[in-house]
Amino acid sequence: MKAYERLIKYVQVHTAASEESATTPSTPWQFDLAYMLADEMKEMGISEVYVDEHAYVYGVIPASAGLEDAMSIGFIAHLDTIPDFPGENVKPRMVENYDGGDIVLGESGRVLSPKAFPHLTSLVGRNLIVTDGTTVLGADNKAGIAEIMTMAETIIKENIPHGRIAISFCPDEEIGHGASLLDLERFGAKIAYTADGGAEGGIEYENFNGCGAKVTFNGFNVHPGSAKDTMINASLLAMEFNAMLPSGDTPRDTEGYEGFFHLTNMEGDVEKATLSYIIRDHSSTTFEARRECMRHAEKLMNAKYGEGSVVLEIKEHYRNMREIVEQHFHVVENALEAIRMAGIEPVVEPIRGGTDGAQLTFRGLPCPNIGTGGYAYHGPYEHISIEGMDIATEILLNIVERYAK
C-alpha cells in the first residue's frame, strides 16, 4: 500500500486532542487509531506490538541477521490533531496533476490559492490531497504515521538489511504531552526521528525554548463616584503590564531565530483580570531575559500598587534540543545524507515551536524532526502531495540504510 492511500484511510479517523482534559490520552477516540495501527502492524509482521493504557503504540522490527550490533533507531509520529479546529468527518479529496491555479475547497467558501500560499507553484504537476474547507486534513501527523508504516512494510516485504527498528505512535502531541509518557525502555532505541515536519527534505534539530506565563491582576473595586486615590482597576493594570513588554516582539513581527511574547488570552473586570502568554526564544540567554522582563514588570507594578496586585506564574514547556543533539550529531548528518540520496537538497530550519523530539531529546533520546511533505498545517488549507509523501518515505528508508552500514 502506498503512503498516500494509508493517509486517506487514517485521516477519516477522528483523533482531535482536548486541552480541557486531565487524562492521557486527552480524548478516548485516539484509541481508535491506535488499535487500528496495532492491527496493521501485526498483519505486516512487526514484532512486540503493544498499545498501553495511554494510547501509546509500540512495535519493533528486529535486526537482520548479522546486524544485531547496529545502532537501534526509532521512528515516531503522533495520533492526534489540533483541538481548536474541526478534525471530525474529514473528507479528503485528490487534485490530480495540479495546474497551479486556485483550488476551491468544497462548498466552504474557502479557496486554496497561490496568492496566499506561494509555494503551490512548486507543486504544479503533482497530485495533491486537500480538505473540503471545513476541517483540518490531519496530515499533521497522519502523513508521518503513513510514511513510517509504509517504510516498515517495505523493509519487511523486500527484506532490506537493517538494524533494530523501534516504532511508536503517541497521543496528545498537539497539546504538549506527546512524549511525556513514552516508555523509553520499552522503545529501546538509541536515537530516533519524529516524522512530523513540513515539506519533504526538511530536517529540524533546533526549536524554541518555551514557557507559559499567567499574570493575575487583583484590583480594588469601589463606587466610581468616590474612587479618588482608592480604586485599583484590574483591567487597567493588565493593560499597563502588557505595555511594559517590547511592542515589536510578537509573532506577527518576528521570524527565523527571533523570539516573542504572545498574548493568547485576556479576561477581566475591575476587581480581577488575567493575561495568558506563551514566551519563545531559540537563545537560552534571551529566553531567560524575556522571563526576567516579566518578573521586573511584576516587581515594578507591585511597588506602585501594593504587594499582591500582580501575581506572575511561569510554567516551563520545553527547551531547545540543539544543545543535546549536537553531542550526537551523526543523527543529523545521516539524515542529511539520506535526503541527498533521495535526490533533493536538505532544508535545515529552526522550528518556531516545539516538538515531541525536543522533550525526548532532553529525556535522553536524541530526536530531530523530518519533513513529511505537508503544508499549511492547523487549518482548513492543509494539503500534501502524493509525490512528496513518496519522497519522505524514501528518506526514512535511506536513514535505515545509513545506520545499517
pLDDT tens column, 276-331: 999 999 999 999 999 999 999 999 999 999 999 999 999 988 889 998 999 999 99
Mean of all residue pLDDT scores within the chain: 96
Structure confidence by residue, pLDDT tens digits, 180-236? 899 999 999 999 999 998 999 999 999 999 899 999 999 999 999 998 999 999 999
pLDDT (0 to 100) of residue 318: 83
Annotation says 173 is catalytic: yes
Residue 245 pLDDT exceeds 80: yes
pTM: 0.86
Residue 82 pLDDT exceeds 90: yes
Residue 19 pLDDT exceeds 90: no
Residue 178 pLDDT exceeds 80: no
Would you call 333 exposed, middle or buried from its count of C-beta atoms within 10 A (0-12, 13-18, 19+)? exposed
Q: List CB contacts of 223: < 8 A, sequence separation 6 or more.
A: none
Q: Spot the catalytic one: 140, 153, 172, 173.
A: 173
Alpha helices in 11-49 (DSSP H): 30-44
Residue 38 C-alpha cell reads as: 496495532
Per DSSP, 254 falls in state -
pLDDT (0 to 100) of residue 187: 98
Residue 354 pLDDT exceeds 80: no
Q: Are 385 and 64 in contact (CB under 8 A)?
A: no
Q: Are 34 and 57 in contact (CB under 8 A)?
A: yes
Q: Spot the catalytic one: 40, 80, 147, 249.
A: 80
Strand ranges across the sheet with 374-375:
93-95, 128-130, 383-385, 374-375
Structure confidence by residue, pLDDT tens digits, 21-53? 989 999 999 999 999 999 999 999 999 999 999
Residue 353 pLDDT grade (very low, low, confident, very high; cuts 50, 70, 90):
confident
Q: Are 231 and 224 in contact (CB under 8 A)?
A: yes
Q: List CB contacts of 118: < 8 A, sequence separation 6 or more.
A: none
Determine the length of the chain: 405
3-state secondary structure of 213: strand
Annotation says 349 is catalytic: no
User: Per-residue DSSP letters for 76-112?
Assistant: EEE--B-SSS--SS---EEETT--SS-EEETTTTEEE
Query: What are the chain's domains?
Result: 3-206+320-404 (3.40.630.10), 209-318 (3.30.70.360)
Q: Are 294 and 214 in contact (CB under 8 A)?
A: no
Closest among 268, 277, 226 to 249, alpha carbons compared: 277
